Amino acid sequence: MSDSNMKFHGTTILAIRHKDKLVVAGDGQVTLNNNIIKHHAKKVRKIYNDKIIVGFAGATADALNLSERLEAKLERYNGNLTRSAVELARDWRTDKYLRRLEAIMIAADEARMFLVSGSGDVIEPDEGIIGIGSGGVSAQAAATALIRHTDMDARNIVEEAMRIAGSICVFTNDSITIEEL
């Protein structure tokens, strides 16, 4: 099998803002073709003096590269997440090297939450919930229902929504990393 036939699948990242808490979670599974090669990857982390949480889906090296570039933008723009995300998306879309990166990310601080992609997207959700990756839609749907129909706190909603996504998506496991602001 050639390297070009090797495809990375998976990841579920979920971010919610609920009851004045920001919680971002990611599963730990890494797959290569139809094989699980890692169970405890950390796809969610705090950056910029622990003031920003990022979560990423896609090729790990590409996602880490983007995370480092976002942090450099945050340094340049004094922690302004909106400006930094827009500048990263602009570079990502226009730079010949960056355009080939295969990843998508969520970046959030105490006030803002964005989905940032290589297509130039910088999207802030209407309801304070974003899910990305193969189980992202399932996790986002579960979190939306839990917010609307329960009195759970943000962390418990994220934990349960990620469990639900993991029970549906074969590329998502129950080894979850959670970061909060």
Q: Which residue has the higher pLDDT, 171 or 6?
A: 171
Domain assignments of the chain as residue spans, ordered by start:
3-171
What does pLDDT average to over the chain? 89
In this predicted structure, the answer to whether residue 6 has a pLDDT above a threshold of 50 is no
Helix (H) or strand (E) holding 156: helix 154-168
For the ranges 18-22, 23-27, 115-119, 163-167, which has the lowest average pLDDT? Answer: 115-119
Specify the length of the chain in residues. Answer: 181
In this predicted structure, the answer to whether residue 3 has a pLDDT above a threshold of 70 is no
Report pLDDT for 62.
78
Q: What is the dihedral of CA 48, 94, 126, 18, to 10 degrees?
A: -20
For the ranges 15-19, 31-35, 122-126, 134-138, which has the lowest average pLDDT? Answer: 31-35
Determine what percent of the chain is predicted with pLDDT higher than 90. 65
172 as an active site residue: the answer is no
d(CA 109, CA 51): 6
Report pLDDT for 4.
40
Q: Report the topology of domain 3-171.
A: Glutamine Phosphoribosylpyrophosphate, subunit 1, domain 1 (3.60.20)
This prediction has a pTM of 0.90
